Amino acid sequence: MRKKRHVKQKKKTQRTSHSRHNQQQSSHQDSLYQQVLTVLYTAAGPLDSKDIFKALDLPLSSRKPLHKLLTRLSNEKIVTQVDKHSYGPGPKNGLAEGIIDQNSKGFGFVSRLSSRLGPVHYTRDAFISPANMGNAHHGDKVLIRIFKVKKDGRPEAEVLSVLGRGRIQMAGFVTFHGKKAVVHPEDPRYPFSILLQGKIPQDLHEGDAVIVKISGESDGNHEQGTLVEILGNPDLVDVQMRLVIEKHNLPHTFSTETMEMVEAISDEIVPSTARLDLREIQHVTIDGETAKDFDDAIAVTKTRKGYRLHVSIADVSHYVQPGTPLDKEAYQRGTSIYFPGRVIPMLPEKLSNGLCSLLPGEDRYAFTAILDFDRQGHLLNKKFSKSIINSKQRFTYTTVRQILIDRTPKVRQKHKAFLTPLKWAGELATELMKLREARGSIGFTIPEPFMTLDDEGRISSIRRSERNFAHKMIEEFMLAANEAVAETFTENHLNGLYRIHERPSPEKITEFVEFGRSLGLDLPPLRQDPDWFGQVIALVAGSPKEYVINNLLLRTMQQARYDVKNVGHFGLAATDYTHFTSPIRRYPDLTVHRTLQDFLQRSTKARVKVRKKDTGIPMKEMGVFLSARERVAVTAEREMNDRLKVRFMQNKVGEIFEAVISGVTGSAIFVELTDLFVSGGISLTTLKDDYYVFDAKHHRLYGKHSGRSFQIGTLLKVVLLDVDLRRNRIYFGPVADDNDTT
């Protein structure tokens, strides 16, 4: 009996050993297959089998498996046997390279597909399952082999090799395992942990946010890396800002070369014949209370036919010359990025808050649009010139509102010298608004949150941003200047960047109409023009559905972007539009200034040296790149706001809030707090009073027995149940007494 058990055990051991051997062989074959295809793809031409063997630095024992593999791949036409011993990629190679976007669940998609072997004709990004991910990480440049294309055109592929690491440095949070410190990446798209090598600093604590550098090596359980910087407590706004910076790889420091160049710039403002001297014109700046850079100033005077508007913009192009280190860094940033109480500027502070900021009482170089209007706001004439101005007063939106709308006696008395020109400005802005509304410009009414920070860098309050008549007045003047510059580009066939906004797709509008009708909205007859959108917005104004409908309408829109091809701006109902008014914080505006100045110099034969140096980047390519940088900035700003909101809510568990339902799925209800602009979710598992059914057609959940429903746009009271700081999520539950069945 004992002998039989011994024989069985021996056979089991042999089977296990044989299985492991087969797995090792299979793993080796997979590795060899990936290496061979990589070396054939990256080679300049066909390779002899000996060259492949040498390039892969294989042991002698791999010679036979290599020849077997090459024969198999040749039969499958993945590899072509060029002659007796030479090989190259075959007609069914399926090889392509691109950038991988990995999901926190392990799968990913490879975008920007291309191949050095020829054109790639796939219309969709390639899907990579977790099993086919190899050792690739999010953001890496990878070589893939596409082995299948689904009916919907989606390619499926496997990663063969990493051609270039996207990130070797990232942010994360520390946990201790005995004396070992492990960092869990803050970005969930990196589903691994990093074991810190070297001596652990004494000031490193559990939960600290840190920046680490990955070595590229692994012990099987963890990636290995070294500590770069301890950021500290993740509750602080500055730490959160660094986490966002690292996640989105945002440039946030200037090079020594750039800073030395900026420091050498003269502070002196010198009049010249090439500039209009507008220092006697009563320019004023009107901005928010917390504004630090003032890149636009306005002046309005009354004329015999109507009004003359001066829009003077900081002349950033005077200081930022094409091709310089300063210019290159500004281009790479593309835009300033604004966080609550913080900013990542496009330009160093000496320029953004100093020489290019139109401070009151200081001479400044500017680029001025001089626009003449009739009494009804129609543009009669436009002129542009480099200038010198001297702002006479810095106003805030609140002060201008008190002067023009509230007519506060004390404030009006204090600013008596400016009452008349501000009155004219208000009159002109009112006429411009009427014309813009008449042509169908869409006025979305989506409130923005305004966050204030305490001395320790934590959010102390969130409130609705004020948007009064003064905001609208300045907006009208900036729009007028932008349109006038764009019209000049069009009239003179200039190769400049337009700000374009294409028509929404008919499919998305149809989807919205179906959605609106499912909510019981009596929508106007469908027309694919801006005025129709304006009518829908007016229809829900002041109702609980206003916020949701405005957001959903916005989602039907295409993203505005920069391009040399002018297709107009749908949202503004404008045939010509560009960005001219914010060159301190937007690189596209800087390019517009340069294009306009080159045209003025050519057309007027000005006695100044025409700028010959260029950025060397085609304008079309600039438009694509700068549009992408803008999207990154918007994403980073939204994420930062969301992170701080989560931390603002962490001590409010158990409190009750007014909310509006912003979304419904088969597993959750999504809500937005009406006063705090904080979003969160209600899991269906918290709805214990009934069995709820998802009605997709009407975008609601309804109780099978009670009839209680939760529909998009419905107001309800919610209680804060939990806050997940690591995943930046907020969980609510409906208040038990709330029984809204609307």
pLDDT single digits (tens) 132-183: 998 888 989 999 999 999 988 899 999 999 999 888 899 999 999 988 999 9
Checking if the pLDDT of 187 tops 90, the result is no
Token pair, residue 705, equals 């027995």
Q: Tell me the mean pLDDT in the region 310-315.
A: 98
Q: How confident is the model at residue 463 (pLDDT cuts 50, 70, 90)?
A: confident
Give the C-alpha separation, 138 to 248, whole Å: 12
Q: How confident is the model at residue 613 (pLDDT cuts 50, 70, 90)?
A: low
Q: Tell me the mean pLDDT in the region 384-411.
A: 97
Q: Tell me the mean pLDDT in the region 444-448.
A: 79
**The pLDDT value given to residue 30:** 63
Which DSSP helix (H) or strand (E) runs through 719? strand 715-724
- The C-alpha R_g of the chain, in whole angstroms, comes to 31
Give the C-alpha separation, 696 to 718, whole Å: 23
Classify residue 610 by its DSSP letter.
P
Q: Give CA 701 to chain center in angstroms.
A: 33
Checking if the pLDDT of 340 tops 80, the result is yes
Residue 239 · residue 229 · CB < 8 Å: no
**The pLDDT value given to residue 551:** 87
Q: Tell me the mean pLDDT in the region 45-53.
A: 88
Q: How confident is the model at residue 260 (pLDDT cuts 50, 70, 90)?
A: very high
**The pLDDT value given to residue 21:** 37
Q: Tell me the mean pLDDT in the region 706-728.
A: 90
Q: Identify each DSSP E strand in 21-168 by its residue range.
A: 47-48, 79-81, 86-89, 95-102, 108-114, 126-128, 141-149, 155-164
Checking if the pLDDT of 14 tops 60, the result is no
Q: How confident is the model at residue 511 (pLDDT cuts 50, 70, 90)?
A: confident
**The pLDDT value given to residue 24:** 39
Give the C-alpha separation, 150 to 169, whole Å: 36
Comparing C-alpha atoms, which of 472, 460, 480, 498 is closest to residue 623? 498
Going 273 to 279 to 284 to 288, the CA torsion angle's sign is: positive
DSSP calls for 334-356? -B-EEETTEEE-SS-HIIIIIIT
Average pLDDT in the chain: 89
Give the C-alpha separation, 393 to 283, whole Å: 7
Give the C-alpha separation, 581 to 356, whole Å: 13
Q: How confident is the model at residue 737 (pLDDT cuts 50, 70, 90)?
A: low
Give the C-alpha separation, 598 to 589, whole Å: 14
Domains of the chain: 25-89 (1.10.10.10), 95-164 (2.40.50.140), 169-232 (2.40.50.700), 258-502+558-640 (no CATH), 650-734 (2.40.50.140)
**In this structure, how many other beta carbons lie within 10 angstroms of the beta carbon of residue 290?**
10
Token pair, residue 453, equals 């920070």
Residue 449 · residue 339 · CB < 8 Å: no
**The pLDDT value given to residue 50:** 87
Q: How confident is the model at residue 2 (pLDDT cuts 50, 70, 90)?
A: very low
Classify residue 685 by its DSSP letter.
G
Comparing C-alpha atoms, which of 129, 126, 130 is closest to residue 155? 126
Task: Give the rounded percent of residues in the chain with a pLDDT score beyond 90.
Answer: 61
Token pair, residue 20, equals 């492991």
Residue 184 · residue 172 · CB < 8 Å: yes
Q: Tell me the mean pLDDT in the region 683-711.
A: 87
Give residue-wise pLDDT tens across range 144-157: 999 999 988 899 99
Q: How confident is the model at residue 444 (pLDDT cuts 50, 70, 90)?
A: confident
**The pLDDT value given to residue 17:** 40
User: Is the whole-model pTM more than 0.75?
Assistant: yes
CB-count burial class (<10 Å; 0-12, 13-18, 19+) for 480:
buried
Token pair, residue 549, equals 């409908």
In terms of C-beta distances under 8 Å and separation of at least 24 residues, what long-range contacts does 25-32 make, across chains too?
28/65, 29/65, 29/69, 32/56, 32/58, 32/62, 32/65, 32/66, 32/69
Comparing C-alpha atoms, which of 390, 366, 328 is closest to residue 580? 366
Checking if the pLDDT of 280 tops 50, the result is yes
**The pLDDT value given to residue 22:** 41
Give the C-alpha separation, 505 to 516, whole Å: 17
- Mapped onto helix, strand or coil, the DSSP state of residue 671 is strand
Task: Give the rounded percent of residues in the chain with a pLDDT score beyond 70.
Answer: 94
Q: Tell me the mean pLDDT in the region 401-423.
A: 97
Among 141-155, 230-244, 594-608, name the one with the lowest average pLDDT: 594-608
Checking if the pLDDT of 196 tops 60, the result is yes
Checking if the pLDDT of 13 tops 50, the result is no
Comparing C-alpha atoms, which of 248, 486, 303, 536 is closest to residue 384? 486
DSSP calls for 74-88? HHTTSEEE-SSSEEE
**The pLDDT value given to residue 739:** 45
Among 156-160, 372-376, 554-558, name the one with the lowest average pLDDT: 554-558
**The pLDDT value given to residue 15:** 46
Q: Give CA 72 to chain center in angstroms.
A: 46
Residue 683 · residue 693 · CB < 8 Å: no
Q: How far apart are the first and last CA of the chain?
A: 77
Give the C-alpha separation, 9 to 457, whole Å: 66
Residue 562 · residue 347 · CB < 8 Å: no
Q: How confident is the model at residue 7 (pLDDT cuts 50, 70, 90)?
A: very low
Going 322 to 324 to 328 to 331, the CA torsion angle's sign is: negative
- Mapped onto helix, strand or coil, the DSSP state of residue 487 is helix
Checking if the pLDDT of 64 tops 90, the result is no
